Amino acid sequence: MNSSLDNLFAQPGEHQGNFQFDSRVAGVFSDMIRRSVPGYGQIINTIGDFARRFATPGSQIYDLGCSLGAATLSIRRQIEGRGCRIIAIDNSEPMLSRCREHLDAYVSDTQVDLQLCDIRQVKIENASMVVLNFTLQFLPPEDRDTLMRTIWQGLNPGGVLVLSEKLRFEDQAIQSLLDEQHLDFKRANGYSELEISQKRSAIENVLVPDTLAVHRQRLANAGFSQVEPWFQCFNFVSMVAIK
């Protein structure tokens, strides 16, 4: 298991075309997401805290778009001895094989099923917790409502969904302000202007953010009546929704 520092977009013309979760990205992903998403470490820790509160004995926990398994690891640390099963899904093979290495590096009595498949195909049942940590934003917008209904149907009463996303804003002044603050965060983490602009072009058509209002409406339409953002920094939010 070797993970490297992210310099994927450092050279002119590098990584042209759309951003993909390929082996190059998987190899630097841990560094990339920490330097790109403000609050990522806090969100991962808090997902573990939520698991400790919500995971009921014998229930299932889903980590949809698990990447290298950061959320799954955080959850697993908090729910030992409850006979829960974690189902962690990603459709990127390089991500999933590195995820398996990370999980195998620690001993645990909690079973983790890693599944290489599209989260739009997932069956959810007997779930006390579902995690979508920066994954919904990569689904085609027209597929997002259906997934949210599937999640609501598979959650047990009292179960929790954690939904973290990059946000878009209707107000242009707010959009520019929070976008600029996010860019400053990336600059402060050592990304050059070239890296920032090349990555921005690569993710433009791949990561399609919704507004907070759209998220709230989608969650309400799916059946969630208790919804609240528990974390926001600039254009990144993490919401909690209880069935």
Ligand X SMILES: Nc1ncnc2c1ncn2[C@@H]1O[C@H](C[S@+](CC[C@H]([NH3+])C(=O)[O-])CC(=O)[O-])[C@@H](O)[C@H]1O
Ligand Y SMILES: O=C(O)C(=O)Cc1ccccc1
Binding-site annotation, residues for S-adenosyl-L-methionine: 40, 65-67, 90-91, 118-119, 133, 200
Contact segment (CB under 6 A) with ligand X among 77-85, 114-122, 149-157, 215-223 equals 114-122
Structure tokens belonging to residue 121: 């195909």
Range 137-176, binding ligand X (CB under 6 A): 138-139
Range 34-93, binding ligand X (CB under 6 A): 65-67, 70-71, 89-92
Range 27-86, binding ligand Y (CB under 6 A): 32-33, 36-37
Residue 199 interacts with which of ligand Y, ligand X, none, CB < 5 to 8 Å by class: ligand Y
Position closest to ligand Y via CB? 36
The least distance separating ligand Y from the CB of residue 6, rounded to whole angstroms, comes to 9
- Backbone region of residue 177 per phi and psi (left: phi > 0; alpha: psi in -120 to 50; beta: other values): alpha
Does the protein bind ligand Y through residue 233 (CB under 6 A)?
Answer: no
| Contact (CB, 8 A) for 154 and 125 | yes
SS3 string, the chain, reads CCCCCCCCCCCCCCCCCCCCCCHHHHHHHHHHHHHHCCCHHHHHHHHHHHHHHHCCCCCEEEEECCCCCHHHHHHHHHCCCCCCEEEEEECCHHHHHHHHHHHHCCCCCCEEEEEECCHHHCCCCCEEEEEEECCHHHCCHHHHHHHHHHHHHHEEEEEEEEEEEEECCCCHHHHHHHHHHHHHHHHHCCCCHHHHHHHHHHHCCCCCCECHHHHHHHHHHHCCCEEEEEEEECCEEEEEEEC
Binding pattern for the stretch 180-209 against ligand Y, x by CB under 6 A and - elsewhere: -------------------x---x---x--
Nearer to ligand X, 149 or 220 (CB): 149
Nearer to ligand Y, 31 or 85 (CB): 31
**Residue partners of 43: CB distance under 8 A and separation at least 6:** 37, 133, 164, 231, 238
Nearer to ligand Y, 50 or 134 (CB): 134
Residue 112 interacts with which of ligand Y, ligand X, none, CB < 5 to 8 Å by class: none
Residue 119 interacts with which of ligand X, ligand Y, none, CB < 5 to 8 Å by class: ligand X
Interface positions with ligand Y (CB under 6 A): 32-33, 36-37, 166, 199, 203, 207
Q: Which residues bind to ligand X, rule: CB under 6 A?
A: 21, 33, 65-67, 70-71, 89-92, 95, 118-120, 133-135, 138-139
